[in-house]
Amino acid sequence: MIDAKISVNDSYQYKVHNSHGQVFYITASDTYVNVR
């Protein structure tokens, strides 16, 4: 589950969490991330 899209310099990080409530920050291209 994607919680937020965060702009960092010229790229974006996504704040996501899984079903266990763990929070992760991932860096990914929009090409690979499907935001619903």
Q: What is the pLDDT of residue 34?
A: 64
- pTM summary value: 0.53
Tally the domains of the chain.
Answer: 1
Structure tokens at 22: 């763990």
Q: What is the pLDDT of residue 15?
A: 92
Q: What is the DSSP letter of 26?
A: E
Q: Which structural domain, as residue segments, surrounds residue 33? A: 1-36
C-alpha torsion sign, points 20, 27, 32, 15: positive
Q: What is the pLDDT of residue 36?
A: 66
Q: pLDDT truncated to tens, each residue of the chain (36 aa)?
A: 888 888 888 888 889 999 999 999 888 766 666 666
